Amino acid sequence: MDNIVLCGFMGCGKSTVGRNIARKTGKKFVDMDSYIEDKAGLTVSEIFDKFGEDGFRDMEHNACKELSQLKGLIIASGGGAFTFERNVSVFKGKDTIVLLDVPLSVIKYRLRNDKVRPLLQRPDKDKAMQELYEKRLPIYKNAADIIVSGKNTPMKTAFTVIEAVKEAKI
C-alpha cells in the first residue's frame, strides 16, 4: 500500500483518525506538523515567529518531499499543506490523498475549548473560521483522491477510510 495522506480543515480529525488507521493497518503514523517540529527543534508557533509563514511553508514542503519518499505511512498533513499545489503534486499519483470532510459546525464544536490555535484566540474567530473554511474546502476537494465524511467517531471514520482506499485500489 502506498502512503495514505489525510487532508482537511483544522479539527477534522486528521491526527486522531490517522493514528487509528495506523493501528488497524500496522502502518506507521506521522503527524506532519510534529515531523517539522522535530526536525526544526522548534514548535510550529516558534517557527512562524522566527522564520515567518514563508519559512514554515518551505519546511512543510521539504517534509512533504521527504515523507513521500517513504512507504507504508499514514500521514496527517497540516491544515494548510494542501492549499499549496507544490505539496499536492509531491503526493499526487503516488500516494492516496484522503479528505476528511467535516461540516464547519462540527469543527467549531470540536474546537470549542481549543486554547492553542491562534485563529481560535481572535475575537472574530467565527467569521475568520468561516472565511478560511470556505476558501480551503474547494482546494482540499480538488487535491483529494478520495473524500470521506469525518463526522463519525474517529474509529468509524478510520474504518471508512481503510475501506474507501481498498475499493479505490480494486
Percent of the chain exceeding pLDDT 90 equals: 79
146-149, strands of its sheet edge to edge: 28-31, 73-76, 4-7, 96-101, 146-149
Q: Using 50, 70 and 90 to split pLDDT, how confident is the model at 170?
A: low
Three-state SS for 101? Answer: strand
Give the pTM: 0.93
Of 70, 73, 89, residue with least CA distance to 81? 89
> What pLDDT, on the 0 to 100 scale, is given for residue 4?
97
Domain count, the chain: 1
Q: Which residue has the higher pLDDT, 8 or 114?
A: 8
The pLDDT mean for the chain works out to 93
State the CATH number of the domain containing residue 23.
3.40.50.300
List, for residues 52-76, the tens digit of each pLDDT value: 989 999 999 999 999 999 999 999 9
- pLDDT of 1 higher than 60: no
Range of the domain at 41: 4-169
Q: What is the pLDDT of residues 74-118, one digit of tens each?
A: 999 988 999 999 999 999 989 999 999 999 999 999 988 887 776
